[in-house]
Amino acid sequence: MTLAGLDQPDVRALVGQFEATLVTLAAAFVLWRIALLIIDRFYARRFVSRFMPRVATFCTLSKSIVGLVIIVVGMLELLNVWAVDVVPAVWSAGIVTAALAFGSQTVVRDIVTGFFFLFEDQYDVGDRVELVTTTGQLVVGRVDTMELRTTKVVDRQGRFVIVPNGNIALVTNASRLPSKIGFTVAVPWRGDVLAMRARILSDVRGIGDAAGKHDAQFAVSLVDSSADAATFSVEIRSANAEADLEQMHLRESLIAKLQADGCFFGDAPTNPQAPDNEGTH
């Protein structure tokens, strides 16, 4: 069959259908590009950089949903342009969707659970977490990637563990204790660094116990060193660390105790001179 064998009205109708198809495709493409720009600007303006991993996931999800909606509406419009009855197609799509949803209940559960994890901000990329699965397994490590279906964790042995979100029964986030404060202190070298760190940690715990803060967590680590002194970082985590620090005067109490002990560490001879350099952050 050629165009010459068609009546003039049929040719015009066919040309009109082609034109409507091109217009529909062009409109869908333009609408998709505009939607992407709006989504990018929305997330860029309303979220700070601390939530970028979470924002990236939500941004990708929003783009996928909008793209899917535009594709479905565009296909239905094209079927309508070519005079195809869309009612059987809609019913067929509904039946196929129900069958797929029934056969992939685990995937749907993982995605729904992952969405609530993202929305409720239970943990984020870089947090140290303990995940208890529905089978009773414990996964401890740092969150490397958050996705709608899975959470990827690097455990203490450096292994890459992929946990389906639907299998997570309990989440413990060790990076979001109520409050954390810290300061640094520089002391002259007295013995080996391990003995110095252990002595400072013991003094800090003693000060905390004397103030009745038995539930507080203390950490001491070496952050800098020179030929004359070692600089240690002291951190405290508790329900209200700032008030505790003000009440305990932790830094002043620690310095006073070190001065009273003459900064004696290990078996080195006692030096009554006070520390030369003290810093806080």
- 54-96 per-position pLDDT tens digit: 667 677 778 888 888 899 888 888 888 887 776 776 677 777 7
- The three-state secondary structure class of 190 is coil
Q: Where are the beta strands (DSSP E) in 55-211?
A: 128-133, 138-146, 150-155, 160-164, 168-173, 179-188
Q: Is the pLDDT of residue 122 over 60?
A: yes
- Percentage of the chain modeled with pLDDT above 70: 75
Report which residue type is found at 274.
A
Residue pair 231/185 in contact (Cβ under 8 Å)? The answer is yes
| The pTM of the whole model exceeds 0.75 | no
Residue pair 162/143 in contact (Cβ under 8 Å)? The answer is no
Cα angle 71, 72, 74 (rounded to 5 degrees) comes to 65
Give DSSP secondary structure letters for 12-55.
HHHHHHHHHHHHHHHHHHHHHHHHHHHHHHHHHHHS-GGGHHHH
pLDDT at position 269? 37
Q: Which two tokens stand for residue 243?
A: 């008030």
- The stretch 186-214 carries a mean pLDDT of 83
Residues 6+ apart with CB under 8 A from 276: 186, 188, 228, 229
Q: What is the pLDDT of residues 18-37, one digit of tens each?
A: 888 999 999 999 999 998 88
- Percentage of the chain modeled with pLDDT above 90: 13
**Could you tell me the domains of the chain?**
3-103 (1.10.287), 122-173 (2.30.30.100), 179-279 (3.30.70.100)
- The three-state secondary structure class of 177 is coil
| 107 to 101, 130, 243: CA distances (angstroms) | 9, 22, 46
Residue 61, number of CB atoms within 10 A of its CB = 17
- The stretch 107-130 carries a mean pLDDT of 83
